[in-house]
Amino acid sequence: MVDVLALVEARLRTALGEPDARAAVTFLGTDRIEVLRFQQGDIVRYATLGMSAHPMADPTAVLADPVEGPRAELVLSVRSGLADTDKALRPLAVLAASPQVEGLVVATGASLDVGDPLWPGAPFTSVLVAEPGGLVEDLDLDEPLDPVRFLPLLPMTPNEAAWKRVHGAQALQERWLTNGTDLRDPSRRSVPLD
């Protein structure tokens, strides 16, 4: 069996450079999830490592397929030095463990909520899962394994998350674009939603 996580870490290093820190979290009944930190200029990126070890399974399926199914890792990018964003490691690990713990299939356009600020003083308690393929290219695996997708996470304020539930992910992303929102600003305010 191919070591998916070794290939994933190699892809992350190729795309983002050498990680300058890593932390591991293990939740009862789940595999270990690591979060790697990459510093690139004034941007710090946090990438999960461990979510893709197993395919995500449809929560309505009687048995989870151990081979086929979507695989993903999560990537969060924020401006460094403006907030204590390193405290986002545990919430990111919680989100990465959600397919194992809750049977979620994390996909583009989904909202993931941690219930608490992503880091101390953060105006965000949830994230929007964005389109993969931009920052880190998908990692193709040998058949019949699905490729690993690296899903960017865009922090959302509670108001933005509520607005997104009504109007959809595309509408919220258009609102951010129209207003020139800096989605990497760890202390940004909610986009105008009138």
Amino acid 133: pLDDT: 81
CA distance 51 to 61: 19
What residues pair up with 150 in beta bridges, in sequence order? 73
Region 95-124 average pLDDT: 91
CA distance 140 to 95: 23
pLDDT beyond 60 at 1: no
Question: Are the C-beta atoms of 130 and 81 separated by less than 8 Å?
Answer: no
What residues pair up with 155 in beta bridges, in sequence order? 127
Cα 144–Cα 148–Cα 151 angle in degrees, nearest 5: 150
Amino acid 103: pLDDT: 83
Sheet arrangement for strand 148-156: 21-25, 33-40, 43-49, 71-79, 148-156, 126-129, 111-113
Amino acid 65: pLDDT: 66
Cis check for the bond before 144: say yes or no (omega within 30 of 0). Answer: yes
Confidence band, pLDDT 50/70/90 cuts, at residue 102: confident
Sorted by sequence, the CB contacts under 8 Å of residue 176 that are 6+ apart come out as 154, 183, 191
Region 176-192 average pLDDT: 94
pLDDT beyond 90 at 15: yes
Region 61-69 average pLDDT: 71
Amino acid 62: pLDDT: 64
Per-residue pLDDT of 115-155, as tens digits, reads 999 999 999 999 999 999 889 999 999 988 899 999 999 99
- pTM flag (> 0.85): yes
Amino acid 57: pLDDT: 81
Amino acid 28: pLDDT: 75
Average pLDDT over the chain reads: 91
Per-residue pLDDT of 152-167, as tens digits, reads 999 999 999 999 999 9
